[in-house]
């Protein structure tokens, strides 16, 4: 285990270290440990001295005292996932899954929810929330600190316990289930722009662990964004077709590959699109847009790889990627980069590339409070160097102007 991560975990173990040992926590910890050591990612990575360090971490966690705060328990349990580079692993609470966002407007349902045994109240900051909000409004876009918006709610994120750690609190005054100033999230920096996180679902108050949160241009990938980040143009509009081909000019075509899902319906649509365009890549240049592609599998993407390999012998491929290019879309990018006449543009991808799950099974921990989503797929293409790091583009693009236009301008300039 990285010594920095290990010392960081031990630092957090000392925070709010009071309360009685919790037998439920002990049972959950043992279950999670035994489940993790069966995963391909653990077996690949935690060997030799790393295994000794990992077992030492497990022993430290076994003797840790648990703060009654749900954040503390989930944070300590999730520490077992930290040393393993596998961002497909999932760990989260599930008590209130049946309570949906649209129920917040139903007074009777909200009252019933608040009176339920699973309803949680978290710590409320002792700071002046008004003063905190005024201070956070002044934070620049490139600062993690600031005011974020999600689902009509405002959350203030500020630095705590040093520059590498952050707390988020509710700023909205009118939420039916949140108190103003109540804790919403914990963030822990692991590199310049990446974090570990424990977040509360804003509609159910269930907690979930995020192993590799990415901050970029006023946005936290999994959590939300600052209002002023809305002008960022590196993301593709969700209303755009997931699969599309059209001409930009006589010498440049645009191919959108927005999803590689492998459900039967998705595969049928993918095959239909492929059949339609397989003989249509005729221009000298082809812009392949993989922005916001959440991945899927080569069962879907493989035919497009083969098509683009053939095309690369006669034309030039210009690949658009961003930090929402994930999983199989990242694997797709790595393979594309081995072909002739391929360049990548945009920003670094998420870094959730190496492992995955064939079956999507989950395991419920003994307490019944938490679910663990294990991975069962091995590294099929030497992708581990990109896990938690992402794939950096050959050319970074400006976030303030249209990316397709920028790439097309570079194409014309090269010609």
Is 90 exceeded by the pLDDT of residue 140? Answer: yes
Q: Burial of 224 by CB count in 10 Å (0-12 exposed, 13-18 middle, 19+ buried)? A: buried
Query: CA–CA separation, 85 vs 87, rounded Å?
Result: 6
Collapsing DSSP to helix, strand or coil, 160 comes out as coil
> 8-22 pLDDT, tens per residue?
444 444 443 334 447
Residue 240's alpha-carbon distances to 103, 185, 243, in angstroms, are 29, 32, 9
Query: CA–CA separation, 118 vs 9, rounded Å?
Result: 28
Pairing of strands 342-346, 316-321: parallel
Average pLDDT for 307-333: 97
- State the sign of the Cα–Cα–Cα–Cα dihedral 69, 73, 74, 79: positive
Query: CA–CA separation, 72 vs 390, rounded Å?
Result: 29
Is 70 exceeded by the pLDDT of residue 228? Answer: yes
Average pLDDT for 198-219: 94
Q: Output the pLDDT for position 414.
A: 87
Q: Output the pLDDT for position 215.
A: 94
pTM for the model: 0.88
| Domain positions in the chain | 1-86+358-374, 93-232, 243-353+390-414
Residue 21's alpha-carbon distances to 64, 65, 79, 103, in angstroms, are 8, 6, 17, 36
Q: Output the pLDDT for position 261.
A: 97
Banded model confidence at residue 69, pLDDT cuts 50, 70, 90? low
Q: Output the pLDDT for position 11.
A: 43
> 294-304 pLDDT, tens per residue?
999 999 999 99
Collapsing DSSP to helix, strand or coil, 167 comes out as strand
CB 254 within 8 A of CB 287: yes
CB 90 within 8 A of CB 352: no
**Residue 321, token pair as written in the block:** 């990627």
Average pLDDT for 232-255: 92
Q: Output the pLDDT for position 68.
A: 62
Average pLDDT for 176-201: 95
> 79-133 pLDDT, tens per residue?
999 999 999 999 999 888 888 888 999 999 999 999 998 899 999 999 999 999 9
Contacts for 328 with CB less than 8 Å, ≥ 6 apart: 260, 295, 296, 297, 298, 300, 301, 356
Q: For domain 243-353+390-414, is the CATH number 3.40.1350.10?
A: no
Q: Output the pLDDT for position 358.
A: 87
Mean pLDDT of the chain: 91
Query: CA–CA separation, 370 vs 206, rounded Å?
Result: 10
Residue 25's alpha-carbon distances to 119, 144, 342, in angstroms, are 19, 32, 51
User: Biggest alpha carbon distance in the chain?
Assistant: 72
Of 25-34, 84-93, 235-244, least confident by mean pLDDT is 235-244
Q: Output the pLDDT for position 65.
A: 84
Average pLDDT for 269-290: 98
Residues forming beta bridges with residue 156, ordered by sequence position: 147, 169
């Amino acid at each position: 285990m990285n010594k920095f991560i290990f010392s960081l975990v031990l630092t957090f173990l000392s925070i709010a270290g009071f309360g009685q040992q919790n037998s439920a926590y002990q049972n959950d910890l043992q279950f999670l440990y035994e489940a993790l050591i069966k995963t391909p990612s653990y077996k690949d990575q935690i060997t030799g001295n790393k295994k000794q360090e990992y077992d030492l971490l497990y022993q430290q966690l076994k003797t840790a005292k648990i703060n009654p705060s749900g954040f503390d328990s989930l944070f300590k349990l999730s520490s077992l996932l930290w040393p393993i580079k596998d961002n497909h692993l999932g760990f989260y609470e599930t008590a209130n899954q049946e309570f949906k966002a649209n129920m917040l407007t139903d007074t009777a349902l909200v009252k019933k929810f608040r009176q339920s045994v699973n309803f949680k109240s978290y710590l409320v900051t002792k700071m002046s929330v008004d003063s905190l909000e005024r201070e956070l409004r002044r934070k620049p876009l490139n600062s993690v600190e600031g005011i974020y918006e999600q689902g009509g709610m405002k959350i203030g994120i500020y630095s705590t316990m040093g520059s590498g750690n952050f707390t988020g609190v509710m700023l909205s005054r009118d939420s039916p289930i949140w108190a103003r100033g109540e804790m919403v999230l914990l963030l822990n920096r692991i590199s310049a722009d990446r974090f570990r996180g424990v977040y509360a679902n804003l509609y159910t108050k269930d907690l979930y662990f995020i192993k590799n949160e990415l901050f970029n241009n006023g946005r936290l990938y999994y959590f939300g964004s600052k209002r002023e980040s809305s002008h960022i143009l590196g993301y593709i509009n969700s209303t755009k077709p997931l699969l599309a081909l059209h001409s930009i000019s006589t010498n440049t075509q645009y191919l959108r590959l927005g999803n590689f899902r492998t459900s039967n319906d998705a595969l049928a649509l993918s095959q239909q699109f492929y059949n339609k365009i397989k003989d249509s890549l005729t221009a000298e240049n082809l812009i392949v847009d993989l922005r916001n592609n959440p991945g899927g599998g080569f069962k879907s993407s493989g035919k497009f790889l083969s098509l683009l390999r053939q095309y690369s012998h006669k034309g030039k491929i210009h690949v658009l990627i961003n930090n929402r290019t994930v999983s199989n879309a990242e694997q797709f990018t790595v393979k594309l980069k081995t072909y002739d006449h391929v360049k990548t543009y945009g920003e670094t991808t998420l870094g959730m590339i190496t492992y995955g799950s064939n079956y999507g099974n989950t395991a419920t921990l003994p307490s019944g409070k938490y679910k663990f989503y294990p991975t069962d797929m091995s590294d099929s293409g030497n992708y581990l160097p990109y896990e938690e790091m992402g794939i950096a583009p050959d050319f970074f693009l400006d976030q303030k102007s249209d990316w397709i236009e920028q790439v097309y301008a570079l194409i014309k300039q090269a010609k």
